[in-house]
Amino acid sequence: MALPESFIRDLTDKNDIESVVSAYVNIKRRGRNLVGLCPFHGEKTPSFTVYPETASFYCFGCGAGGDVITFIKRIENLDYLDAVKFLADRAGLRMPENTQENDAYSRLRMRVLEANRAAAKFFHATLMSPQGKVGLDYYHSRKYSNSTITRFGLGYAPDSFHALYDELSRQGFTDSELEAAWLCRRSQKSGRMYDLFRNRVMIPIIDIRGNVIAFGGRVLDDSKPKYLNSGDTPVFKKSSNLFALNFAKTTAANDGLILCEGYMDVIALHQAGFTNAVAALGTSFTEEHANLLARYTQRVYLLFDADGAGQKAAQKAIAIVRKTGLDIRVLHVPDGKDPDEFLRSNPPEMFRKLLEEASNDVEYRLMKLGRQHLLNTADGRAAYLREAAGVLAGLDSPIERDVYIGQLSSTLGVDKGALKQEVERIRQRNRRSQEKTRMTTVVRQADNLTKKANPEALEFPRAASAEEGLLGILILHPDMIPKVQGKLSPSQMVTPFNRRVYEQILDRHSKGLLIELSFLAADYSEEEMGYLAQIVRGAVGKDVSEQDLQAYIDVLHDEEARGRNRNVSDMSDEDIRDILQAMKKAQQGGTNT
């Protein structure tokens, strides 16, 4: 069911793109537009641009683009109708009746959320029953209080293949809904449904709106896998969510966020009063996670295990988080203990001291490098300083660079000027490399976007360029449509995607409907909206004349003629005879009229 035009107009008027985007991205005005660090990929140089004039956004780094609805779709991981509902709630608008209910995917999302909520209740009730004593004993062995167990909705999945399935089936959930929720699966051998989570303590994953979106299950013995986590579903994507962010977001702005490796560390920290702890969900830390952190805080504390795997993960996380510009601090837990182990044997004040003494990421990396070299030898010091200069070259602040250069030169007895010169040499080399990479990335992203949305554009670049120029003008200046439609039919558009857009523009114009990106968003994918945003961006600020329009039309007429001539050589004799016969009949018909 299509949404009423009047509702979409009201929705976009009350959700101007600048105010919506600024809730997620720190954007600053640059001329008529606004720029900031892209929330969809990690970057240090702002390439994300908001165009208030066209109510659109576009990232030159990753190719993301579109209108305000597309932005909410991407950043909140929602489908089209749920993004509209999100914006309607934000603006205090009432959704048109029966719109969301009639959408199959939205219905499935709703049922998956309901199934997850019912499963969470079942797991928690089982934990508190005699059947769940083994799970409750496990939680108590980790010193979790009953109030913590209740706060996090912790549960236990019984050692049964059908306990959850039988209960949720009794509540009316279908087999396909339970499979979509990643709660049950059909056996390839017997054809029967079975529970995916069995004999595990269960940790529900709750999003910032309070919905149960997934589960993590931990075994009680040494069997593998140790953790079983929900796969991606219509309501859950591992790389787009952080465990306990629903709690941590309230204090994140003031206290920062503590990034842990796993659920159990987070729960232990919350119980000790550190309610700003979060963790990635069953996957390695990604740029999406880092961008999510940046929405809520300016400082991140990295708290990883002291073993080799934990330290390797910490190094990777530092590199990813640094791209967001966040202040990074690295915690050192003494005696190689895991965070929850440290909290069980020490009062909260001891952990608070660790937070206060946490080194920044530069100190951490310099310390790690120092352990890799023999600093009591000339060769070892030289090798260390070369690598340390590379670390300092990555710092944007000249004051910060100067402080560390001074510290290193004093500590290791090396001339400060020589070290500064080495740092600057590396910075110059990095700048050249980064600029080349940035330009290559912009071109590659534009090409990738075109490949996904309109692959034929790469085969017919001249025609596609004319089509894009023409469509950009028509979307920004609908008053120009009458000057074009009589001269160019949709069939004369060379690339299918642009033909489809042109047809829709003409159709909407004939019905007196508005032509803006927001009125096209329902019919196009995120990649296609990014391509459309790129097209519109190319037309912004240009003076438009009928001569410009005619130039684009002439190119397309010329391409059409070239196409016909080119295609004749590919035709069989039979094809050519059929065409000539059809032309002869048409001429006879015209004579008889």
230 and 108 fall within a common domain: yes
Interacting residues of 228 by C-beta distance below 8 A, sequence separation 6+ = 196, 197, 200, 216, 217, 219
**Is 327 a member of any domain?**
no
**Pairing verdict, β 257-260 and 277-279:** parallel
234 pLDDT more than 60: yes
Q: Which domain holds residue 201?
A: 104-236
**Is 479 a member of any domain?**
yes
Q: What value does the mean pLDDT take over residues 273-300?
A: 88
160 and 86 fall within a common domain: no
Q: Residue 550: exposed, middle, or buried by beta-carbon count in 10 A (0-12, 13-18, 19+)? A: middle
Strand arrangement of the beta sheet that strand 48-51 belongs to: 28-30, 33-36, 48-51, 56-59, 65-66
For residue 70, give the CATH number of its domain: 3.90.580.10
583 pLDDT more than 50: no
Please report the pLDDT score of residue 360 as a whole number: 83
Q: Which of 44-48, 171-175, 254-258, 306-310 has the lowest mean pLDDT?
A: 306-310
Higher pLDDT, 478 or 282: 478
Please report the pLDDT score of residue 137 as a whole number: 96
Q: What value does the mean pLDDT take over residues 511-527?
A: 82
pLDDT in tens, 460-473: 888 888 999 999 99
Report helix angle 80-91 to 68-76, nearest 10: 110
Closest by alpha carbon to 56, among 72, 68, 64, 46?
A: 68
d(CA 252, CA 46): 24
Of the pLDDT bands very low, low, confident and very high (cuts 50, 70, 90), residue 569 is very low
Please report the pLDDT score of residue 442 as a whole number: 56
Please report the pLDDT score of residue 590 as a whole number: 40
**Across all residues in the chain, what is the average pLDDT?**
85
Interacting residues of 102 by C-beta distance below 8 A, sequence separation 6+ = 1
Of the pLDDT bands very low, low, confident and very high (cuts 50, 70, 90), residue 260 is very high
d(CA 243, CA 267): 10
Q: Which of 187-196, 257-266, 292-301, 361-370 has the lowest mean pLDDT?
A: 361-370
Closest by alpha carbon to 17, among 83, 68, 82, 90?
A: 68
Higher pLDDT, 317 or 163: 163
435 pLDDT more than 50: yes
Of the pLDDT bands very low, low, confident and very high (cuts 50, 70, 90), residue 98 is low
**Is 569 a member of any domain?**
no
d(CA 402, CA 422): 13
Query: Which of residues 219, 236, 253 is at a domain's end?
Result: 236
Q: Are 249 and 296 in contact (CB under 8 A)?
A: yes
> H-type helices in 297-393, by residue range?
308-322, 339-345, 348-356, 361-371, 378-393
**Is 180 a member of any domain?**
yes
273 pLDDT more than 90: yes
Q: Tokens 């003031």 belong to which residue?
A: 254
75 and 144 fall within a common domain: no
Q: What value does the mean pLDDT take over residues 356-384?
A: 85
**Is 348 a member of any domain?**
no
471 and 401 fall within a common domain: no
Query: Which of residues 432, 450, 468 is at a domain's end?
Result: 450
For residue 122, give the CATH number of its domain: 3.90.980.10
167 pLDDT more than 80: yes
441 and 499 fall within a common domain: no
177 and 231 fall within a common domain: yes
Q: Are 231 and 202 in contact (CB under 8 A)?
A: no
Give kind and range of the element (H or E) at residue 330.
strand 327-330
Of the pLDDT bands very low, low, confident and very high (cuts 50, 70, 90), residue 566 is very low
E-state strands within 408-547: none
For residue 554, give the CATH number of its domain: 1.10.860.10
413 pLDDT more than 70: yes
Please report the pLDDT score of residue 242 as a whole number: 92
| Count of structural domains, the chain | 4
d(CA 124, CA 469): 59
63 and 143 fall within a common domain: no
Of the pLDDT bands very low, low, confident and very high (cuts 50, 70, 90), residue 87 is very high
148 and 211 fall within a common domain: yes
Of the pLDDT bands very low, low, confident and very high (cuts 50, 70, 90), residue 320 is confident
121 and 163 fall within a common domain: yes
114 and 186 fall within a common domain: yes
497 and 515 fall within a common domain: yes
**Is 513 a member of any domain?**
yes
For 204, phi then psi, to 5°, come to: -75, 140
Query: Which of residues 450, 480, 513 is at a domain's end?
Result: 450
438 pLDDT more than 70: no
**Is 321 a member of any domain?**
no
**Is 366 a member of any domain?**
no
d(CA 549, CA 529): 23
421 and 490 fall within a common domain: no
Q: Which of 92-101, 155-164, 176-185 has the lowest mean pLDDT?
A: 92-101
Encoding tokens for residue 396? Answer: 């944007």
